């Protein structure tokens, strides 16, 4: 049997004996079990109390019903043909028999036979030596892997399913597989089992206490703790690039940052971040900050900091976000600097809004934005990744019903959806670490930002789901804004279209195909890594690669095969692209010289938590 990766010499040298799984102090263990039950009761109370008061209404049924319907369609395909069903059952039975035969062989001769199935490279769940050395845990591991891969194969080979149902089935199978992994349970995870025995159950007491705290923090819903949040404070050690608030509307604050050079590019830079998360992903700390780096390159940087909406903003639509966010930002830049010509950056859904706004403004004769840069932005949603799992008529209607009760979608709902896209990394490791091992997570600025949830204004979010994910109206030239039908063909300014190779939110293929809908020249650049790390990759880190090539047309894989691979960050490449459009410099501009400021950056809107 093959050995699993070494997770520590001290563990690897420990003999695999029954003694390490036997309770040494039954009295103390029993006492801790009682304390654990007491803390579990507090967790249950934290969950039940807001529901009894009517503060929380569960909408769990909708996603569960959708999952059941999806699995029913999958089952119907396999069971409708007896021969097909028999073949599927035979494959599973054969896998189990191989695992069983290996286990019997090992017990009889004590040898190390080859595993029937091995974890995928990079799978961290089964690194403890006992997963390969102890026959019981090794059997559990292999049986689980055989089952989960068999279930995934059922989805992949269900030829009768439409693509949306297949996509949902694959996603739900992944969620269920991640949830039932033996690494998630005390009695089936050797490391958890040992820690529980060694501490006489004190880890479970701490874990249940943390669970109660996290349900209380979520006001009745679990707000999974992914980092030590006490180590961070916005404006103190996050979002620290110096600047001022120079404008404030109902939906946005406009921030202008202090210059770091004697001269600056004549064209100011306006950044439109997503409102699904907060803007300081681009200003986490001085070493990672794109905003600070751009200032140091000579940009006069303005950033839109979106409001964290509440019931007052329920009717704020995409048009409101364009008028009171993007256009308001352009007006503010003109007052602050006297400049009309602007370079603009849009990130994720902020980029989608920017693209739609550019199409609208082109029709209205507003041509102040002279170049557009899109960070991992989709304008065509044909291949929109796993988020499409949550979008069909029934699910969108259910979300709209929930939003209309308050005027917004709770921030925890969006956070959970994004975490589910990578549940093996962003959910279950923290469930195990926090609530079973009873250990506090480590400080991590990125995960603090990830947990700093934002609500979704009802009208805004409904428009986005229907017009983009559900009906794909923007790329088809059918989106209606301000009484006009807008077309991306009217966007004729230069476009820098950045995708990231491992993006699960805005897939590289989706961004590539979206390039053809713009009416002007598009430079498509592919960064290494994913939706966040691919963008937030300062040159000093010397990490990843990026690819540049010809016109983004034809087959994506053929484009990539011919593209030039560059080591490191794309940031400097983008800077050269910007300067090639207009490198005129003027004396540096300080915030507040031509208008009253409203406080220091990062402002007040970004500090509103849910």
Looking at residues 104-126, what average pLDDT do you find? 78
Secondary structure, 3-state, 494-512: CEEEEEECCCCCCCHHHHH
**pLDDT classification of 16: cutoffs 50, 70, 90:** low
With a cut of 90, say whether residue 417 has pLDDT above it.
no
Looking at residues 445-452, what average pLDDT do you find? 94
Q: pLDDT value at position 164?
A: 86
Mean pLDDT of the chain: 92
Summarised one tens digit per residue, pLDDT across range 322-348 is: 999 999 999 999 999 999 999 999 999
Summarised one tens digit per residue, pLDDT across range 259-316 is: 999 999 999 999 999 999 999 999 999 999 999 999 999 999 999 999 999 999 999 9
Summarised one tens digit per residue, pLDDT across range 421-445 is: 889 988 999 999 999 999 999 999 9
Q: pLDDT value at position 370?
A: 98
Local structure of 110: helix, strand or coil: coil
Looking at residues 381-404, what average pLDDT do you find? 89
Contacts of 549 (CB under 8 A, 6+ apart): 524, 559, 560, 562, 563, 564
What is the rounded CA–CA span in Å between residue 499 and residue 374? 8
Phi, then psi, of 480 in degrees rounded to 5:
-105, 125
CATH of 243-385+473-607, one of 3.40.50.1820, 3.40.50.10170, 3.10.450.100, 3.90.105.10: 3.40.50.1820
Q: Are 569 and 548 in contact (CB under 8 A)?
A: no
Q: pLDDT value at position 20?
A: 85
Nearest Cα to 58, choosing from 296, 222, 168?
222
Share of the chain above pLDDT 70, in %: 95
With a cut of 50, say whether residue 11 has pLDDT above it.
no
Q: What is the pTM of this model?
A: 0.90
Q: Does an H or E element contain 165, and which?
A: helix 163-179
pLDDT: which is higher, 108 or 289 = 289
Q: Does an H or E element contain 139, and which?
A: helix 135-156
Q: pLDDT value at position 610?
A: 83
Strands in 301-306's sheet, in edge-to-edge order, are 243-248, 252-257, 301-306, 269-272, 342-347, 369-375, 495-500, 522-527, 545-548, 564-567
pLDDT: which is higher, 387 or 490 = 490
Please spell the DSSP secondary structure of 169-221, one letter per residue.
HHHHHHHHHHHT-GGGSGGG-HHHHHHHHHTTTHHHHHHHHHHHHHHHHTTTS
Say which residue the tokens 């903003």 belong to. 313
> Using CB atoms within 10 A of its CB, is residue 267 exposed (0-12), middle (13-18) or buried (19+)?
buried
Q: Report the alpha-carbon angle 467-468-473, nearest 5.
A: 60
Say which residue the tokens 């050269």 belong to. 576
**pLDDT classification of 159: cutoffs 50, 70, 90:** confident
Say which residue the tokens 């249940």 belong to. 208
What is the rounded CA–CA span in Å between residue 505 and residue 515? 17
Looking at residues 541-568, what average pLDDT do you find? 96
Contacts of 299 (CB under 8 A, 6+ apart): 264, 265, 268, 269, 343
Q: pLDDT value at position 69?
A: 87
CATH 3.40.50.1820 residue ranges of the chain are 243-385+473-607
Neighbours of 446 (CB within 10 A): 15
Q: Does an H or E element contain 247, and which?
A: strand 243-248
Nearest Cα to 212, choosing from 45, 396, 53, 346?
45
Q: Are 295 and 370 in contact (CB under 8 A)?
A: no
In angstroms, how far is CA 309 from the centroid of its own chain? 20
Q: pLDDT value at position 268?
A: 98
Q: pLDDT value at position 545?
A: 96
Q: pLDDT value at position 478?
A: 97
Summarised one tens digit per residue, pLDDT across range 487-502 is: 999 999 999 999 999 9
Q: How many residues does the chain have?
A: 610
Summarised one tens digit per residue, pLDDT across range 221-243 is: 888 999 999 999 999 999 999 99
Looking at residues 572-581, what average pLDDT do you find? 98
Strands 269-272 and 301-306: parallel
Catalytic positions, please? 348
Q: pLDDT value at position 6?
A: 39
Please spell the DSSP secondary structure of 364-424, one letter per residue.
HT---EEEEEEES--S--TT-GGGGGG-SHHHHHHHHHHHHHHTEE-HHHHHHHHHHHTHH
What is the rounded CA–CA span in Å between residue 303 and residue 561? 36
Q: Inter-axis angle of helices 202-217 and 26-52, to 10 degrees?
A: 10
What is the rounded CA–CA span in Å between residue 498 and residue 508? 9
Q: pLDDT value at position 113?
A: 60
Q: pLDDT value at position 395?
A: 86
Local structure of 362: helix, strand or coil: helix
Share of the chain above pLDDT 90, in %: 74
What is the rounded CA–CA span in Å between residue 227 and residue 243? 28
Q: pLDDT value at position 112?
A: 58
Q: Are 272 and 351 in contact (CB under 8 A)?
A: yes
Looking at residues 573-600, what average pLDDT do you find? 96
pLDDT: which is higher, 561 or 4 = 561
Looking at residues 31-59, what average pLDDT do you find? 89
Neighbours of 596 (CB within 10 A): 7
């Amino acid at each position: 049997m093959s050995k699993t990766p070494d997770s520590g010499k001290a563990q690897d040298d420990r003999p695999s004996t029954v003694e390490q799984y036997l309770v040494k102090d039954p009295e103390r263990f029993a006492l801790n079990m009682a304390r654990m039950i007491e803390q579990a009761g507090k967790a249950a109370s934290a969950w039940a109390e807001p529901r009894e008061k009517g503060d929380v209404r569960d909408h769990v049924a909708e996603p569960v019903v959708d999952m059941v319907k999806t699995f029913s369609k999958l089952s119907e395909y396999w069971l409708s043909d007896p021969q097909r069903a028999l073949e599927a059952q035979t494959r599973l039975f054969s896998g189990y028999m191989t695992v069983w035969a290996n286990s019997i062989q090992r017990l009889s001769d004590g040898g190390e036979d080859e595993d029937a199935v091995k974890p995928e490279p990079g799978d961290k769940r089964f690194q403890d030596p006992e997963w390969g050395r102890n026959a019981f845990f090794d059997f559990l591991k292999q049986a689980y892997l055989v089952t989960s891969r068999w279930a995934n194969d059922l989805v992949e080979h269900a030829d009768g399913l439409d693509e949306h149902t297949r996509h949902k089935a694959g996603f739900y199978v992944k969620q269920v597989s991640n949830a039932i992994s033996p690494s998630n349970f005390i009695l089936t995870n050797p490391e958890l089992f040992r820690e529980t025995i060694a501490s006489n159950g004190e880890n479970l007491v701490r874990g249940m206490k943390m669970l109660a705290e996290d349900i209380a923090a979520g006001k009745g819903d679990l707000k999974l703790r992914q980092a030590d949040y006490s180590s961070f404070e916005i404006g103190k050690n996050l979002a620290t690039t110096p600047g001022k608030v120079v404008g404030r509307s109902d939906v946005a604050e406009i921030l202008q940052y202090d210059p770091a050079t004697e001269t600056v590019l004549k064209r100011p830079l306006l950044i439109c971040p997503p409102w699904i998360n907060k803007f300081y992903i681009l200003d986490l700390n001085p070493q990672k900050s794109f905003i600070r780096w751009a200032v140091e390159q000579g940009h006069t940087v303005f950033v839109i900091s979106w409001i964290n909406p509440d019931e007052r903003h329920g009717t704020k639509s995409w048009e409101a976000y364009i008028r009171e966010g993007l256009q308001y930002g352009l007006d503010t830049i003109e007052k602050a600097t006297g400049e009309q010509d602007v370079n603009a950056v849009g990130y994720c859904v902020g980029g989608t809004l920017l693209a739609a706004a550019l199409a609208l403004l082109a029709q209205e004769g507003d041509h102040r934005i002279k170049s557009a840069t899109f960070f991992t932005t989709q304008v065509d949603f044909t291949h929109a990744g796993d988020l499409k799992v949550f979008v069909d008529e029934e699910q969108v209607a259910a979300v709209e019903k929930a939003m209309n009760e308050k005027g917004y979608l709770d921030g925890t709902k969006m956070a959970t959806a994004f975490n589910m896209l990578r549940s093996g990394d962003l959910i279950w490791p923290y469930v195990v670490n926090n609530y079973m091992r009873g250990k506090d997570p480590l400080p991590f600025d990125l995960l603090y930002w990830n947990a700093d949830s934002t609500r979704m204004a009802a009208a805004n979010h409904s428009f986005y789901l229907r017009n983009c994910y559900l009906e794909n109206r923007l790329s088809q030239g059918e989106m209606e804004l301000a009484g006009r039908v807008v077309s991306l063909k009217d966007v004729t300014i230069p476009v820098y279209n950045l995708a990231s190779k491992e993006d699960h939110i805005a897939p590289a293929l989706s961004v590539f195909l979206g390039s053809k809908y713009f009416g002007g020249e598009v430079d498509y650049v592919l960064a290494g890594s994913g939706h966040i790390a691919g963008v937030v990759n300062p040159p000093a880190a010397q990490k990843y690669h990026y690819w540049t090539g010809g016109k983004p047309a034809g087959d994506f894989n053929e484009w990539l095969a011919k593209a030039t691979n560059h080591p490191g960050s794309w940031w400097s490449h983008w800077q050269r692209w910007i300067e090639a459009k207009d490198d005129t410099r003027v004396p540096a501009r300080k915030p507040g010289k031509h208008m009253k400021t409203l406080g220091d950056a990062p402002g007040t809107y970004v500090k509103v938590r849910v």
